[in-house]
Structure 1
């Protein structure tokens, strides 16, 4: 929180003197009286636990009024936020592998659905798919229904171009305002297209974080029932380039994850949905604090009259 008129905080000194004036010590009786202890006890019971409520409400109200006079600025999520998150998903043939059920791509789709459910409604989310090349499946949007339809339409392609996927996501972020995060998921290593590290350098220059997620079970090999084996030569069941993904995340201030189950993947995306941030803008809270302070001060006066009738 920042203040546009910090000099107004000096009003708290006046508030302190006012409260000292309101606190009046009752003079002690100079002559003893046989009923003095009884009268003192009766006075305590008459005052009850709400004796300090009027003074407390009045003081708090004046304090809020003094704070309002300093014109505080509170950081709040912007309704027209320039921030966005781009889901970048590998759709190469190896994503058909069934070590994650029912296969890696379907597990990735389900994780993306979990992300969309948990993400703040004001967060714009886009979708980029990549194999040998990258394409924008849906630009950043608040329309979750349309985004889910685009997610369901993903199809497999050949080869893996991680760098191209990052660059396509950065293109979307520029068009959306230039701020946000990239949530990258892949099960392989870069085989064609732009250098992923150079793409990460460009992302770092924009202040964009890359959360890199590698999927697959180390040591898993496709069996006769696996659909991958019906599509020709399959070079490897597990080829996650962990060093590259770690470098992408480290270079941009993001995080790297390695996931080997569909349940863990969905949980990870739910957690990441809570971690991404919206664009914040300073909003002056003078009016809000002024109204609240005035109401509390009036409440204090009303309680005092109610508890201490004339």
Structure 2
């Protein structure tokens, strides 16, 4: 269902037909008055009462009234009313970037961060609208483009299932790799309409470690500024809790999430920041992103309800006229 917008009409000039409808109303009133004057000349009032009983006097006007209403509805339909509707995007590029550093082995999110991330990411992939070209990047100490932007959801889902953990977290490198993939794909798919709109979805659970400074030329904040310059927003998902830990080489190490960095990346690039501390929260975040990315609001044609209602009222008018007056209005 959608809401009607009475402000937007694609062809408002058709409303001039309402002048003709008004003329018909005036003509109908005039004819009725003339008919009434002629009838009053009938000298036999008792016979007149039998021929035209008062109880039906108002009913005979109903078909004409319905006819006028139907003409007004049909005129509105011809004026091209528009309504803001949610429609699937038919062209866009999305790079899904997933952290596979060793901290994703933490079990503060059951059964583990990486296991929950895989399930949620595959759900996101399956629910994305067909017109979206989706690519996949994994990153730890380096970034790997696993799938270039494509509408083939099966290849992306299979690559998510095969994700393996590695040391370090090179968030900036992953973002630069995503931007490069978007630009390469845009050069191929640009066409007369220009490059399709693009977005990066970055899911990570910790702070960048390679390099340690996010403002380094290959750092995450630098990449966020580059994304802003290219008008490619980065939506970040900070996944995990402050109490996560992993055991590496026999030593237990805390792996707290870094909300501040993810919030800053989203802010600088023009994207949105999301926080997920459980598998269910992560799934809801991906569902929200799927709605935002896969659909857009457009002013679309909304004349069909007006046309259908106008025809229906017209049919009722014709039926009522035949029933009451044994003739069409």
TM range (shorter): 0.7 to 0.9
Aligned partner of 1:187 in structure 2 is 205
Structure 1 pair 280–305 and aligned structure 2 pair: CA distance change class (3 A): closer
Considering Cα pairs closer than 8 Å and 6+ residues apart, tell me whether 1 or 2 has the greater RCO: 1
Out of 234, 240, 243, the residue aligned to residue 219 of structure 1 is 243
Match of residue 111 from structure 2: 102
Q: 1:18 to 1:218 in 2, by over 3 A?
A: same
Query: Does the CA-based 8 Å contact 1:76-1:282 persist in structure 2?
Result: no
Aligned length: 287
Could you tell me how far 1:88 is from its partner in structure 2?
0.6
How far apart, CA to CA, are the structure 2 residues paired with 1:270 and 1:180? 18
- How much does 1:280 deviate? 8.4
Give unmatched runs, 5+ long, in structure 2.
187-194, 212-217, 322-326
Partner of 1:91: 100
Q: Is the 8 A contact 1:130 1:161 kept in 2?
A: yes
The structure with the largest alpha-carbon Rg is: 2
Q: In the alignment, is residue 152 of structure 1 matched against residue 152 of structure 2?
A: no
Match of 1:262 in 2: 279
Q: Tell me, yes or no, if the aligned pair for 1:78 and 1:280 is still in contact at 8 Å.
A: no
CA distance in 2, matches of 1:27, 1:281: 50
Change (3 A) 1:296 1:256: closer
After superposition, give the CA deviation of every residue in 1:60-108 in whole Å (9 maximum; x if it has no partner): 333333449xxxxx996553x1x12211100011111111111111111
Q: In structure 2, do the counterparts of structure 1 residues 213 and 181 end up closer, same or farther at CA, with 3 Å as the change threshold?
A: same
Partner of 1:203: 227
1:1-310 aligned at under 5 Å gives the runs: 9-13=12-16, 15-23=17-25, 24-25=28-29, 26-27=32-33, 29=36, 31=40, 35=49, 39-45=53-59, 52-67=65-80, 79=90, 81=91, 83-177=92-186, 178=195, 179-193=197-211, 194-221=218-245, 228-229=246-247, 231-233=249-251, 235-238=253-256, 240-277=257-294, 305-308=318-321, 309-310=327-328
Q: For the aligned residues, what is the CA RMSD?
A: 3.8
Counterparts of 1:270 and 1:143, CA distance in 2 = 19
Gaps spanning 5+ residues in structure 1: where? Answer: 69-73, 222-227
Counterpart-to-counterpart distance in 1, 2:229 and 2:121: 26
Give TM-score, length-normalised by structure 1. Answer: 0.77
Q: Which TM-score applies when normalising by structure 2?
A: 0.73
3-state SS, counterpart of residue 98 of structure 1 = coil
Structure 1 pair 162/111, CA: closer, same or farther in 2 (3 Å)? Answer: same
